[in-house]
Amino acid sequence: MIKQLLIGIVCSAAVLTLGILIGHFGINKSSNSAPSWVKDVMKGVDESLIEKFLSEVDNIQIQENLMVLTKVPHMATTAGDEQTVQFMLKRWQDPETGLDQAWREEYMVYLSFPDPENPNKVTVVSPSDTVQYTAREKEKSYTSDQDDPEVVQPYAAYSPAGHPKGKLVYANQGKPSDYQLLNNTVDLRGTIAITRYGGAGRADKAINGAPYGVIGVLVYTDPLDINDGRMSDTNETYPHSWYLPPSGVERGSFNTHYGDLLTPYLAAKDETYRIPAKDITGIPPIPIQPIGFEDAYKLICELGGEAAPNLWQGSFNCTYNFGGPGFKQTSTFNNSDVKLDIFNHEKLKNSSNVMGVIRGSVEPDRYVIYGNHRDSWVHGAIDPSSGTSVMLELTRVLGRMVKQGKWRPRRSIIFGSWGAEEFGLIGSAEYTEQYFTKLSERTVAYINVDIAVFANATLRASGMPSLQNVIFKSSKQVDAPGLDSTSVYDNWIQYANRTSPTHGLIPKVGYLSGAGSDYAAFVHYLGITSIDISYTYDRSKTNARIYPAYHTAYDTFDYASKYIDPGFVSHQAIARTAGSVLIRLADSLLLPLNCSDYAETLEDYLNTAVTLYQLQLQNKQISMEPLKRAVANFRSAATHLDQVVRTSDLANETPLKVRRINDQLMLLDRAFLDPLAFPDKYAFRHVIWASSSAGKPTFPGLADAYANAESSEESSAWNKVHYHLSVLSQAIEGAAHTLVDVI
């Protein structure tokens, strides 16, 4: 009986257990069971996946990408450019390592080219019209690359055609102050000015001179500014080092606006309205042509007139004189003119962006955009193909994970291979114009890697302060190239650092206040949180204003692999760092954007503004209190939002609460946009980051308006300062309103 009882109990227990198991696992809790999406929507970054990504980024793959991309010159809209389009499409449509989708988007854009049949000429012409000297039309060949018939003659894109002839003068960097000073001594009417690169925008060297009567401009790169003084190609310059050979010429786009010049604010489609070409502003009103320092040396050292100031002197072993105007009496060029024969012509050409996407799994309507341009001036090994090679390696590793079903990002990732950047950031600008609303509503961040590697010393990053912590985190997990057990971060902090009131000593992240690459339209027109990443110089070792082969026929695979990044390890470090930033932005449950770091910058800007302007503004009865209040409100709103994040268990909250905070973070930069803040600056709408000519580390519109008022002293100019203060305060207050509790 006891046995029976025991058997009964054991059996009952077994049956009960069976029942419990059936009840628990076998029957779906109809109304109370978690829908399948609950877990997915709360997933965040998978650190092991990032580790896997980092380990798979391959320097040899990058090198191979670069080799293909630089086989031939690929200036925008040329046959070489089309080859790169095809290459990108093939890679991004690869069934094993490609993206979900890739396609091209075309725009009809206004470009400017020299005439291969009538090359531009710069000559010295005697009074009897004898040609005494002719500047080089082509750069000297050291490798077969320079012999490619597709190497475009050095020229100034958007310089008008024309044949000005006049006495030569030296105008330093062609800044307004340079021409002003020169004009005190020399009558500039009818002269040709020779200027050196740097100090002023390319087009400005002509725009600033024309009002003084200058009729033509030459521009060259002084060895002082690019070669640490080296001039000889027998042993000093490329192919013996990274320095620029004497005949090397920096090409460039000579315009001050970005985007297609004929279709401001409109995507340049076939039937889009185009302004009359005569209404284009911001391009040279007089012919301008770049030359090598070999030719510049011949001209400058023969100049007559007074000696130019010390700051105007370059590396040539002669005194840089102003010009008589013209050459000195002892010169064989005495009494001769310099003549420019410029045959540039403008054309509407079809330029392509290549686009690719990885669809997001949980929030496909949130975009992280990663981009770089594809077009170069010549072979463009560094500019832009270093960045394109890095992007292709990124997409190869990520694409394979997606194709293998191992990963799909939370948010969508859009890759953009922009066209016609060299002519003024055209492809990216047209893209932002065409998709303005969609992009502005949904884009979390834009990552730009153009020139991936300027040099192999240290990371450089510029971006919105809110992104600072992402690049810090990412750079800490990547090894610095060529260094044992030092992270990119630890190496970086040695080269560029600052002391933050909150974080102590940290690497210094720059600001994106100019329009130097394709981030411009994203930052200034769309107000999208952006970052630009590269590897760069040890400034203790060179004063070169940029890597010396920039925009010349020497920017080749040979140059890049020998002198910029042998072994492509810096490229690899950039690919890893940028990729980690990308994955973090795409996968984090909570966006890794920190609004308190933004507050720190605003406070910094405010302090500078108060120091520089407050006293004088008080005299003008203009109060800075609204701006101070706005910054203080922004800080307290940021602190509050930080606190909400810290005290919330977001992984267990409703996904709509996480989304709400993410929207606050994503849209923060949009609050700083005001389409009326800078009526004179094309497509600059971001009141914190707009470009500024005042050169003060503070709010750009305020600095410019103040500088202008101070020099003009008109009451209407002080009104503009007051107006901009109100615009700025309202924008910052508006941003603060978006960070406080939503209701």
Residue 15 binding its own copies, by CB under 8 A? yes
The one among 68, 125, 210, 266 contacting its own copies by CB under 8 A: 266
C-beta of residue 556 within 8 angstroms of C-beta of residue 145: yes
Asked if 655 is part of the footprint of its own copies (rule: CB under 8 A), the reply reads yes
Write the CB contacts of 183 (distance below 8 Å, at least 6 apart in sequence).
212
Segment holding 388, helix H or strand E: helix 385-403
**Smallest gap from residue 716 Cβ to its own copies (A):** 9
Q: Which is nearer to its own copies, 337 or 433 (CB)?
A: 433
**For its own copies, which residue of 473, 476, 640, 722 counts as binding (CB under 8 A)?**
722
Tokens 């497509």 label which residue? 683
Residue in 652, 680, 695, 713 binding its own copies, rule: CB under 8 A: 652
Q: Which of 20, 79, 277, 318 is close enough to bind its own copies by CB under 8 A?
A: 20
Residue 377 CB contacts under 8 Å (≥ 6 apart), including other chains = 73, 75, 152, 251, 252, 383, 422, 551, 552, 555
Q: C-beta of 464: minimal distance to its own copies in Å?
A: 16
Nearer to its own copies, 18 or 60 (CB): 18
3-state secondary structure of 583: helix
Q: Applying CB under 8 A, does 24 fall inside the site for its own copies? A: yes
Stretch that binds its own copies, among 45-53, 123-131, 133-141, 735-743 (CB under 8 A): 735-743
**Taking the complex as a whole, how short is the minimal distance between the CB of residue 98 and its own copies, in angstroms?**
16
- Distance, in Å, from the CA atom of 682 to the CA atom of 687, rounded to the nearest integer, reads 13
Residue (442 or 635) nearer to its own copies, CB? 442
CB 666 within 8 A of CB 593: yes
Closest CA to 492 of 561, 538, 542: 538
For residue 8, state whether it binds its own copies (rule: CB under 8 A). yes
Q: Is 271 in the site for its own copies (CB under 8 A)?
A: yes
Q: Does 421 qualify as catalytic in the annotation?
A: yes
Nearer to its own copies by C-beta: 343 or 522?
A: 522
727 binds its own copies (CB under 8 A): yes
Q: Quick one: 352 exposed, middle or buried, by C-beta within 10 A (0-12, 13-18, 19+)?
A: buried
In 374-442, which ranges are E strands? 411-418
Map the footprint of its own copies across residues 610-639, applying CB under 8 A: 623, 625-626
Least distance in angstroms from the C-beta of 666 to its own copies: 10
310 is a site residue for its own copies (CB under 8 A): no
- Decide whether 296 or 683 has the Cβ nearer to its own copies: 683
DSSP element (H, E) containing 18 = helix 2-21
Q: Per rule CB under 8 A, is residue 675 in the interface with its own copies?
A: yes
Give, as ranges, the residues between 273 and 302 that touch its own copies (CB under 8 A): 273, 276
Nearest approach in angstroms of CB 407 to its own copies is 16
Contacting its own copies (CB under 8 A), which of 106, 148, 653, 710? 653
The reply on whether position 723 binds its own copies by CB under 8 A is: yes
SS3 507: strand
The neighbouring-strand residues paired with 498 are 506
Consecutive H or E run containing 347: strand 345-358
Does residue 129 touch its own copies according to CB under 8 A? no
Nearest distance in Å: CB 696, its own copies: 21
Indicate which single residue of 41, 151, 480, 591 sits in contact with its own copies (rule: CB under 8 A): 41
Pairing of strands 411-418, 131-134: unpaired
Pairing mode, strands 168-170 and 345-358? unpaired
In the set 80, 164, 287, 360, which binds its own copies (CB under 8 A)? 360
Of residues 9 and 79, the one with the C-beta less far from its own copies: 9
Residues 195-254 that bind its own copies (CB under 8 A): none
Q: In terms of CB distance, is 24 or 144 closer to its own copies?
A: 24
Please state, in angstroms and rounded to a whole number, the distance separating the CA atoms of residues 508 and 460: 9
The whole-angstrom separation of Cα 563 and Cα 381 is 12
- 521 near its own copies, rule: CB under 8 A: no
**Least distance to its own copies from the beta carbon of 711, Å?**
20
Strand ranges of the sheet holding 530-536, from the earlier edge strand across to the other edge: 101-113, 345-358, 411-418, 363-373, 443-448, 530-536, 458-463
> 83 in the Ramachandran plot: left (φ > 0), alpha (ψ -120 to 50) or beta?
alpha
Distance separating alpha carbons of residues 468 and 360, to the nearest angstrom: 24
Residue 84 beta carbon to its own copies: minimum distance, rounded to whole angstroms? 25
Interior/surface letters 17-27, b for 16+ CB within 10 angstroms, e for the rest: eeeeeeeeeee
In the bound state with its own copies, the residue whose beta carbon lies nearer, of 510 and 675, is: 675
How far apart, in whole angstroms, are the C-alpha atoms of residue 418 and residue 556?
Answer: 20
Shortest distance (Å) from residue 690 CB to its own copies = 16
* Residue in 1, 2, 5, 35 binding its own copies, rule: CB under 8 A: 35
Cα dihedral 449→451→457→459 (10° resolution): -20
Size of the site for its own copies (CB under 8 A): 85
Q: From CA 67, how far away is CA 45, in angstroms rounded? A: 34
Q: Answer for the pair 264, 171: CB distance below 8 angstroms, yes or no.
A: no
- Which one of residues 6, 10, 37, 483 is an interface residue with its own copies (CB under 8 A)? 37
CA 116 centroid distance within chain = 31
Cβ(538)–Cβ(457) below 8 Å: yes
- Taking CB under 8 A as the criterion, the residue among 25, 128, 504, 713 binding its own copies is 25
CA gap 531, 447 in Å, rounded: 5
Candidate residues 52, 121, 140, 359; the one interacting with its own copies per rule CB under 8 A: 359
- The backbone torsions φ and ψ at residue 207, rounded to the nearest 5 degrees and listed phi first, read -60, -40
Residue 436 in contact with its own copies, rule: CB under 8 A = yes
Q: Which of 2, 5, 311, 656 binds its own copies (CB under 8 A)?
A: 656
Select the residue interacting with its own copies from 84, 237, 462, 738 (CB under 8 A).
Answer: 738
Contact positions with its own copies (CB under 8 A) in 468-497? none
Catalytic residue among 346, 421, 422, 600: 421
Subset of 60-89 contacting its own copies (CB under 8 A): none
Residues tagged active-site: 421
